[in-house]
Structure formats: structure tokens, C-alpha cells
Structure 1
Amino acid sequence: MVDDEGTLTFDGLPPLREISWDEWLVALPLPALASLAADGQPPGTVEAYLSDLPGKGHPDPLMIEGCRWILNHDAEIERAVLTAILGDIDNLRAANDWLGEELDLWLPADGWDEPRARSAVSLTQIVPHAQPAAQPYYGLIFSAGWDEEHGYGLIMMGTEIVRSGGADTAVLAWIAKDHAEAKPVG
């Protein structure tokens, strides 16, 4: 399935580039989400990370379907993400009180407006999850000005925010699994 250049193709997606024996990257054309993206990504795109289905030589089909769904719902996702970021300020302040005097600089008590929220985080990667559901599960990894080490992350099902936290939240498949099984995740 992989060609001589290390790319893999699926209908409806740009080519997936193999980065190791079990990992793939694809630059998804997402103009709305790309407005939240970090510098250095091709204009209008956001990178998605997919892992190999063990022993199969390709990503899980649920991840491929998730990428297709994301492509078709770009603007809706971007709006849901901005709403989540704007509404998460109190949780972020509580989790980052270690910032001391810089807390109000990065996470003001009176909240953010949209331009300030856009400048505080940068979308670096989308991580589709292989969790069966009516709509796909995926994570969004952000760099965050207030915490360069841990960043900010979201797990979503469709346009629903499942959980927010540090950037690692976006890659934790158990959160998607627990949510899909209607178990509390936090």
C-alpha cells in the first residue's frame, strides 16, 4: 500500500507521509482550523498524526474516516474549539495558579476575547482516534503561551468537547473510549 516515496493514499485525503514504520502525517486542508495553527505549517493546512494498525502497514480505518469527517466540518470544529477555549479560562486559571504574578498576564480573570484567545494558543496537530462512535473522536494539540512544556489539548467527538487539559489530553485514547462507553472521565 505504501509507494516508493513512503506515501499512502486514500480517497478523499491528501497523501499520508510515513514518518516511521508505524506513524503517518497528513497535511489536511482546513482553512478555518488553520487560522488557529502554529506558524510553519503549509498555509491553510493542519497536520494530522495517525498511527499504524499493528502489523497491517496502514492506519486504522476509523482514523481515515475521522480525517474525512474533519475535512467536511472544518468551520464547525473551529467554532466549537474557540468556544471551548473561551469558556475554559476558569479551569485554566485553577490548573495554572503556579504562574503566580504572570497568571493574569496569560489567563486574565475577566477572560479572553476571541483575538486574545487566538494569540494565546496555536494548533500544532490533530490526532484521530480509532474509537467507534456515531461521530469521530480526535484530539487537538496546542502550544500554549502560559505553559510551553505542557501546552493545551482537547479531545472531541464530532463538535462536542469531551475533555480539555494539557496537550497530552489530546492523545489519550482511554478518554475517548470511556466517553464512548458513557463512563466518567475525570
Structure 2
Amino acid sequence: MARSLRFWLSMGFSAFVGLAMALLVTALLWVLLPHLNAEVQARNRSLGGSMASQVESFLADAQSALENLATDMDGQSSLPSDRMQLMVDTLANTDEHLEALYLIDEANQVMEVGLPQARRGQREDLVGTDFSGRAFVQLAQKARHSVWSDTYLSQRGRIVVGLAVPLRGPPGSAASGMLVGEFGLEQISVLLRRI
């Protein structure tokens, strides 16, 4: 009988300790979970804000590069075709995120295409492409300032985001059209993975 009394006492004590531990853990979770959740949310907001500012900085740099090229082209009254080609090729070759850089005329037809060195053999397929159906190009033409597009499928079958930068040359001149840069989402995804 003494054994069974000890057994029941130890079982009661174990149950009491187990219940106390369960209550303590429940109380700690009740108090700590909201704090932990708030801290995780704050860190996620901070990370999201940091990534957004990095992407915003990337887009601003890309826009600045295209606008600087447009300013250079505007500053020269009559550019020969080979000079325009060299200018768009140079920028397309130096910016790893730029899939293609188009110089389009006032009718939104591609006159020149800047491509990275490895893809310059595709140039002939892209000259003459019609951008008149792209809303961001029409908006940039009307507003006379740079306009970013939503994502779309490029002539090469890749998902890109475009930037249209109007040139301000005299009407009818080679510098009166627009620059359109296409930035591949794959390249932007690589940038995000680095961040």
C-alpha cells in the first residue's frame, strides 16, 4: 500500500508540475507571440523598404543613363546614322540590364537598334519594328517626358519593362524621335537576388 501511495503522490505531483509548465508556456506565448510577430513584421517591412529603395535606385540610374544619351543626341543637330548606331550600341553594351535600346522615329518605327556585342547579329530582325501600339510610347510622345511601361513581351519573346525617352530635336530630324530601352525581368531578378 505504501508503494501505491507514493505512486499516486508522484503522479499527482507530476501532473501538477506538468499543468504549471503548460500554464507558464501558454502565458509566455500569450505575451511573447504578439511581440515576436510585431518584430518579424517590422523586419519584413524594413527589408521590403530596403529592396524597394534599391530597385528604385536601379530604375533611376537606368532612366538617368537614357536621358543623358537623349541629351547628347539632342545637342547634335544632325547625327549621321553610323554615329547614332555607335551611341546606342555603346550604352546597350555597357549596361548589363539593358536587353535592347531602340532609336525610333516620329512614326514610332525603329531606325537603329543598340544591342550587346553578343547579340548584334539580331539587329536586322529588329530594325523597322513598330512601337506605335505601345501605350507608354504614345504617352511619352504626348507628354514629352520619360515614361516607364508595365511589363510586356519583347520582339525576342522575353518579358521586359520599357522606358521611353523623347528626343527634342527639330521635327523631321533624326533626333526628333525617341529612345526606348528594354530591361529584362530576368536581369532585374538577378539584381534582386543580389540584394
Which bracket does the TM-score occupy, shorter chain normalised? under 0.3
Higher relative contact order (CA 8 A, sep 6+): 2
Give the helix-richer structure, 1 or 2: 2
* Larger radius of gyration between Structure 1 and Structure 2: 2
